[in-house]
Structure 1
Amino acid sequence: MSNLVSVLKNGSLSNTNSNANFPSMSNWLDDIFNRDLPSVFTSNFNTGISLPKVNIKETADTFMVEMAIPGFKKSDFHLELDNQVLSISTETKEENEHKEENYTRREFGYSSFKRTFNLPESVNDEKINANYKDGILSILLPKKEEAKQKPARSIKVS
């Protein structure tokens, strides 16, 4: 098969296949991987947490990062600051074993995530504070004094 690339009138590229009776390799792979799998294969597949959503709020004095991550302990979180990059991660492993007379059933679970944020130069990295309460991880990123927004003031004309 030969694939030709033609330029359309609007300047975009279009792939054309000289033998239209056969699907292209990418279409064939898409069909395989996008096909619905039987529930036997998907019932307990990838039950770990997905990447948590983040809310970021800026005030005159701080940035506030909030992540909804229920079901963890404070000790499960790892926060690191390296060269103005804040990394937030967690990793949990679970193993259950149930023994009966004729069989043993073992279940293993693993979930993890890692989010990274490039912090602006205006953040005072010496005073970053994190709190985990009611399933919400809150990280307070105070601004440096020179970066804080100053209130409006009147200037007297002389």
Structure 2
Amino acid sequence: MPETPTRRHRPLPDIFDWFDDSWIPSWLSGKVGSGTHAIRIEELDQSGEHLVRAELPGMDPEQDIEVSVADGVLTIRAEHSEQIEEKQRSEFRYGSFARSLALPRGTADKDIHAAYEDGILTVRFPMPAEDAAEEHSIPIRHKE
């Protein structure tokens, strides 16, 4: 079974879901910057498209969520502000959230689209052509 290109940067991608992410170094967890929480994601290949779904409940996509691409890396950032209310108990997470994923080689930035519905951000893009990821030889010209 071929390796999924977006999982190459983390040797054990699912182990981090077992624990609270506060102790995991950002370089290992895929988080961007210190003081941020990791965003839980799932990746799917569906009908020629690659989907990245991120859990971001209770957020306003226009004000609280940012999706960007640079140098073949997809980055999702979000900010969840705590409402000032007297609470007896809260297990909600507030603050900054971020996640970065390597995109498959050959993914065109202009083909990436994002939508937010029912607390789930879905980022979708067409799977790059198979030959875009294949290794090939480059002819060497002899300079005379």
Q: TM-score, normalised by structure 1?
A: 0.48
Q: Distance in 1 between matches of 2:83 and 2:49?
A: 41
Q: Deviations over 1:90-136 (max 9, x none)?
A: 123346499xxxxxxxxxx9511110001111323211110000011
Runs of 4+ in 1 over 3 A off after TM superposition: 92-98
Q: Distance in 2 between matches of 1:78 and 1:71?
A: 15
Structure 2: runs of 5 or more not aligned: 1-35, 87-92, 132-144
Establish whether residue 147 from structure 1 lines up as the match of residue 130 from structure 2.
Answer: yes
Confirm or deny: 8 A CA contact 2:39 2:98 kept in the other structure. no
**Residue pairs, 1:63-142, within 5 angstroms:** 63-75=50-62, 76-94=64-82, 96=84, 110-142=94-126
Confirm or deny: 8 A CA contact 2:107 2:126 kept in the other structure. yes
Q: TM-score, normalised by structure 2?
A: 0.53
Q: Distance in 2 between matches of 1:61 and 1:97?
A: 46
Q: Distance in 1 between matches of 2:58 and 2:112?
A: 24
**Between Structure 1 and Structure 2, whose CA radius of gyration is higher?**
1
Provide the aligned C-alpha RMSD in A: 2.7
What secondary structure sits across from 1:65 in the alignment? strand
Residues 59/97 of structure 1: CA separation in 2 closer, same or farther (3 Å cut)? closer
What secondary structure sits across from 1:123 in the alignment? coil
What secondary structure sits across from 2:81 in the alignment? strand
Q: Distance in 2 between matches of 1:71 and 1:138?
A: 15
Confirm or deny: 8 A CA contact 2:37 2:98 kept in the other structure. no
Structure 1: runs of 5 or more not aligned: 1-48, 99-108, 149-158
Higher RCO by CA contacts (8 Å cutoff, separation 6 or greater): 2
Confirm or deny: 8 A CA contact 1:124 1:143 kept in the other structure. no
Q: Deviations over 1:45-93 (max 9, x none)?
A: xxxx942321101135111011122100112111110010111011233
Q: Distance in 2 between matches of 1:69 and 1:97?
A: 21
What secondary structure sits across from 1:126 in the alignment? helix
Aligned residues between the structures: 89
Match of 2:41 among 45, 54, 77: 54
Residues 140/56 of structure 1: CA separation in 2 closer, same or farther (3 Å cut)? same
